[in-house]
């Protein structure tokens, strides 16, 4: 591929877009006094508290939640994801639909799980004030599970951050005509990664989560506009021959089905540990805004992923021989379609990529800090918590930039993180079951949940032993977490699908079994937890026609 966007123009686009986002983010802080009409259009609320800085609690409308989930979840990586599926005939339609549906599916889960998490964490009032699901887990289980959840969440979000910085810097290098695989271009790509990280850190450190949500609204609208423009221009140049190839490859395949199943499980497991998404659960004004916002956000995510998948299918149809022979790579197929277009469209893509990356990175920066926010607020006090939160974000950015310079395979990075999350997703979210036995089973205990997480790790290792992958590579016993199964794509193949099915199931069974055995051995008292006691108290108050003890009557009766 040969792109020739002038470097000076690329820098102008980068710094102009980032500066506009930074200004918007800073204006959402309390640093500058603004007229009330202007401030109300930018800021979620006039609250000036550490809690609002860290959580934007109960302030975001349906539209804000929808655009925020859409913008923050769709990073620069999307130009590689479904395009690879679309440009791989063995995956075709089901691969594209699977990736698109899988990317939007976590929002559907949040519509179901989110209200329950809000309900439980509202029962204790300010005492149980939560900023992330690690806080929920600490209250539900205890410190041991909190540490496991925090480690898994931070690992996934850090990998996501590295992948975003890698993607945006590589795309900039590609569109200015540099070889992103060459050592000589590392200075350029490092500069891009540092710039995006620095600007997003600037406004998130000054205004916290409200800045991220405020900029998400602008970034989401900008992204939609850019995609609409591209959708009307990129398909140009379609011939009758390419149309025939497109029709022939528009088919359902078994490999595509396998990939779709794998993607749904993998992305759902991983995104449930994305604290950026969970922050929006507490930021929503109420349950109605939460559900409607995430549903609309899910729909927008599906459309965007579907668009890039179509670009991959179009790219393949125009030059099937090059893709079949390996002369062209499926994951770069979007740029194959983009290349012959005038330079104006290349600039449009740079604007889109910058918005995609900035929206995701500022969300991840806030989300990483949220994992420790509750303990910081309780242990350090409000003012110190804000400053330590900023320091943590800065400390995370530095190694993320350094790792992005090493140019790891973005999809491979996500693959490892997805599988790590699959080992623990059931033990964590089974915690929403707080009381009363069902089907002979008991609510999970902390020991049961910890054993479930460990069992999930062993499930991966045993899978690796069965397929003969353990001991290969630098990670030795745990090398199968890289899932090098020889499939037609990183997340494809029967072995990978089986691993993603078996791992969470083993974790689920182990959690429930060990919890039951613990009750048999130690008595029913081991299932007692903070939330169960508060729910019983709230039920008793409501039964007597009184206001619930914590005051959140509407949430409890939901």
Helix, strand, coil share (%) of the chain residues, nearest 5: 75, 0, 20
Same domain, 339 and 481: no
Any domain includes 538: no
Q: Which residue has the tokens 């591929």?
A: 1
Any domain includes 326: yes
How much is the pLDDT for 552? 41
- 3-class SS at 187? helix
Q: Which residue has the tokens 């090098």?
A: 484
Q: pLDDT per position in the chain (558 positions), as tens?
A: 678 889 999 999 999 999 998 888 887 766 665 555 555 555 555 566 777 777 888 888 899 899 999 988 888 888 888 888 888 888 888 889 999 999 999 999 999 999 998 888 887 666 667 788 898 898 889 889 999 999 999 999 988 898 889 889 989 999 988 887 788 888 888 899 999 988 988 888 877 888 888 888 888 888 888 888 887 776 555 677 777 877 877 888 888 898 899 999 999 999 999 998 999 998 898 899 999 999 999 999 999 999 999 888 888 888 888 888 888 888 888 888 888 888 888 898 899 899 989 989 988 988 888 887 666 666 665 566 667 777 777 787 888 888 887 777 767 777 888 999 999 999 999 999 887 778 888 889 999 999 999 999 999 888 887 876 655 555 566 677 777 666 666 677 788 888 899 999 999 999 999 999 998 888 877 777 777 777 777 666 666 655 454 434 333 333
Give the C-alpha separation, 277 to 106, whole Å: 9
284 φ/ψ angles, rounded to the nearest 5 degrees: -60, 145
Q: Which of these, 180, 178, 311, 168, lies nearest to 236 by C-alpha position?
A: 311
- Which of 378, 410, 442 terminates a domain? The answer is 410
Any domain includes 180: yes
CB within 8 A of 438, min separation 6: which ones? none
Give the C-alpha separation, 44 to 213, whole Å: 8
Same domain, 195 and 304: yes
Any domain includes 416: no
Same domain, 190 and 246: yes
Same domain, 433 and 484: yes
Same domain, 387 and 255: yes
Same domain, 70 and 132: yes
Any domain includes 84: yes
Residue 90, classified by CB atoms within 10 Å of its CB into exposed (0-12), middle (13-18) or buried (19+), is middle
Any domain includes 544: no
How much is the pLDDT for 319? 84
Any domain includes 401: yes
How much is the pLDDT for 555? 35
Same domain, 404 and 515: no
What is the pTM for the complete model shown? 0.88
Q: How many helices (H) and strands (E) does the chain have?
A: 23, 0
Domain that holds residue 124: 7-410
How much is the pLDDT for 558? 34
Cβ pair 290, 114 in contact under 8 A: yes
Q: H helices of 381-435, where?
A: 382-405, 410-422, 425-429
Same domain, 102 and 143: yes
Element (H, E) at 499: helix 494-522
- Look up the CATH number of the domain holding residue 281: 1.20.1730.10
Residue 460, classified by CB atoms within 10 Å of its CB into exposed (0-12), middle (13-18) or buried (19+), is buried
How does DSSP assign 8-23, residue by residue? Answer: HHHHHHHHHHHHHHHH
Cβ pair 167, 79 in contact under 8 A: yes
- What is the SS3 string spanning 223-258? HHHHHHHHHCCCCCCCCHHHHHHHHHHCCCCHHHHH
How much is the pLDDT for 455? 95
Any domain includes 550: no
The total number of structural domains that make up the chain = 2
Same domain, 476 and 396: no
Same domain, 390 and 473: no
How much is the pLDDT for 410? 67
Alpha carbon 21 to chain centroid, angstroms: 20
Same domain, 255 and 361: yes
Same domain, 495 and 403: no
């Amino acid at each position: 591929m040969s792109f020739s966007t002038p470097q000076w123009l690329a820098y102008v686009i980068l710094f102009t877009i980032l500066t506009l986002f930074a200004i918007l983010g800073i204006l959402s802080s309390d640093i500058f006094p603004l007229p009330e009409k202007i401030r109300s259009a930018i800021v979620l609320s006039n609250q000036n508290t550490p809690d609002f800085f860290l959580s934007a609690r109960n302030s975001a409308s349906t539209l804000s939640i929808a655009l925020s989930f859409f913008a923050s979840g769709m990073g620069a990586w999307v130009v590689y994801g479904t395009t690879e599926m679309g440009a791989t005939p063995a995956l075709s339609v089901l691969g594209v639909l699977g990736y698109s549906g899988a990317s939007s599916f976590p929002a559907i889960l949040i519509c179901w799980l989110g209200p329950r998490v809000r309900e439980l964490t509202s029962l204790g009032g300010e005492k149980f004030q939560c900023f992330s699901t690690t806080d929920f887990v600490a209250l539900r289980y205890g410190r041991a599970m909190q540490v496991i959840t925090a480690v898994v969440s931070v690992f996934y979000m850090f990998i996501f951050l590295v992948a975003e910085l890698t993607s945006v810097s590589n795309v900039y290098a590609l569109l200015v005509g540099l070889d992103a695989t060459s050592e000589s271009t590392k200075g350029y790509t490092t500069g891009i990664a540092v710039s995006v990280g620095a600007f997003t850190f600037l406004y998130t450190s000054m205004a916290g989560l409200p800045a991220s949500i405020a900029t998400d609204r602008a970034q989401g609208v900008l992204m939609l506009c850019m995609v609409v423009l591209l959708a009307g221009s990129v398909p140009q140049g379609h011939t009758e021959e390419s149309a025939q190839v497109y029709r022939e490859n528009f088919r359902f395949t078994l490999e595509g089905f396998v990939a779709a199943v794998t993607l749904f499980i993998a992305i759902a497991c991983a995104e449930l540990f994305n604290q950026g998404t969970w922050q929006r659960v507490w930021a929503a004004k109420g349950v109605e805004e939460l559900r409607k916002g995430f549903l609309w956000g899910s729909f927008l995510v599906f459309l965007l992923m579907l668009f890039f998948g179509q670009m991959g299918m179009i790219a393949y149809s125009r030059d099937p021989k090059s893709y079949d022979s390996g002369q062209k790579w499926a994951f770069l197929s979007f740029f194959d379609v983009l290349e012959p277009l005038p330079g104006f469209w290349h600039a449009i893509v740079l604007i889109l990529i910058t918005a995609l990356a900035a929206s995701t990175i500022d969300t991840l920066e806030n989300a990483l800090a949220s994992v420790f926010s509750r303990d910081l607020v309780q242990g350090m006090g409000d003012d110190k918590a804000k400053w330590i939160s900023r320091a943590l974000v800065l400390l995370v950015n530095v190694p993320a930039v350094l790792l992005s310079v090493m140019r790891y395979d973005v999809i491979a990075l996500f693959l490892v993180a997805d599988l790590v999350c699959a080992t623990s997703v059931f033990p964590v979210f089974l915690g929403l079951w707080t009381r009363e036995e069902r089907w002979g089973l008991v609510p999970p205990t902390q020991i049961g949940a910890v054993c479930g997480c460990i069992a999930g790790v062993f499930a991966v290792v045993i899978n690796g032993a069965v397929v003969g992958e353990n001991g290969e590579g630098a990670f030795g016993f745990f090398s199968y977490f890289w899932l090098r199964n020889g499939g037609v794509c990183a997340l494809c193949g029967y072995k990978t699908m089986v691993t993603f099915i078996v791992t969470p199931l083993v974790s689920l069974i182990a959690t429930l079994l060990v919890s039951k055995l613990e009750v048999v051995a130690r008595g029913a008292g081991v299932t007692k937890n903070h939330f169960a006691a508060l729910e019983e108290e709230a039920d008793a108050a409501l039964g007597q026609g009184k206001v619930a003890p914590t005051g959140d009557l509407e949430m409890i009766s939901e």
